[in-house]
Amino acid sequence: MRVKIAAGLLALAALGSTALLPDRAALRVAADNEVLVALDRVRCVEDALPETADLIGYAAPEGPLREETGRQREFYLLRNALAPRLVVELPAEVLAEDLPPVPWLIASYTGRQAGLDDLNGADWTVVKDCENGMFLLHRPEDR
């Protein structure tokens, strides 16, 4: 009987906690799902990359990646979208380097104009302007 009483009480506690349900709207895909929105944004560069581009840099010149969940999410989604190409995270200073470690770079800005202003005069060729703040840049290694 002791076991039954204890089991019954525990089962009631379990059901009490189970009743914390999301509302019915939760069964629909949220239109503003952050991951899907970010994935849409990064997929823009996918088609513009040639087959030979196997190592690609990613830089978010407007802030350190580590401190910003949104940027991190974008970086990892970009990795996901571009696999089996490898994407590596680079500091914003890569834009000004004479000998960048990668010939292809994806630069991510919060808006298109911010990117155009920052890239103005940079030694990289804009291969694709996604018009959402993402830019695919190229700079041959022997340049």
Partner 1 sequence: MAAALTLLLALLLPVLIGLAAVALFAGRQGRCRRADFWTLAWAAPGLGMGFSSVLFFLWSLVFYPRFAPGLYIGLEVLVLLGLSAAASASAAVRLPVELAQPGLIETLKQAARKRIFTALLALAFAASAAFFAYRFLAFTAQNPLGGWDAWAIWNYKARFLLEGDPVTWKRVFAPQATHPDYPFLLSGFIARCWVLIGKDRAAVPALTAALFSFSTVGLLTAAVTRLRGLNLGLLAGTLLMSLPVFTWTAASQYADLPLAFYFLAALVCILLYFNENRRSLYLPAAGIAAGFALWTKNEGTSFALAAGITLAAVLFAAPGKWKPLPFYESKSARIRPLLLFAAGLLPALLLYAAFKGWMVPPTDLFNRREPADYLLLAGDPNRWRLIAQAVWDQFLHWGGWRIPFLPALGVFLLAAGPRLPRESRAGVLAAGGILALTYAQYMAIYLITPHDLAWHMQTSIGRLYNQLLPGALLVLMCLIRKED
Residue 43 contacts partner 1 per CB under 8 A: no
Residue 52 contacts partner 1 per CB under 8 A: no
Give the three-state DSSP class for 58: strand
Q: How far is the CB of 23 from partner 1 (least distance, A)?
A: 9
The per-residue DSSP string of 77-142 comes to HHHHHHTTSEEEE--GGGGG-SS-S-SEEEEE-SSHHHHHHHHTT-SSEEEEE-SSSEEEEE--TT
Residue 114 contacts partner 1 per CB under 8 A: no
**8 Å CB contact between 91 and 71:** no
Residue 8 contacts partner 1 per CB under 8 A: yes
CB-CB neighbours of 4 under 10 Å: 8
Among 37, 80, 97, 111, binds partner 1 (CB under 8 A): 80
Nearer to partner 1 among residue 82 and residue 130 (C-beta)? 82
Residue 31 contacts partner 1 per CB under 8 A: no
**8 Å CB contact between 60 and 70:** no
CB-CB neighbours of 28 under 10 Å: 7
Nearer to partner 1 among residue 25 and residue 99 (C-beta)? 25
Nearer to partner 1 among residue 14 and residue 114 (C-beta)? 14
Given the rule CB under 8 A, which residues bind partner 1? Answer: 2-22, 26-30, 33, 35-36, 39, 54-55, 73, 76-77, 79-80, 83-88
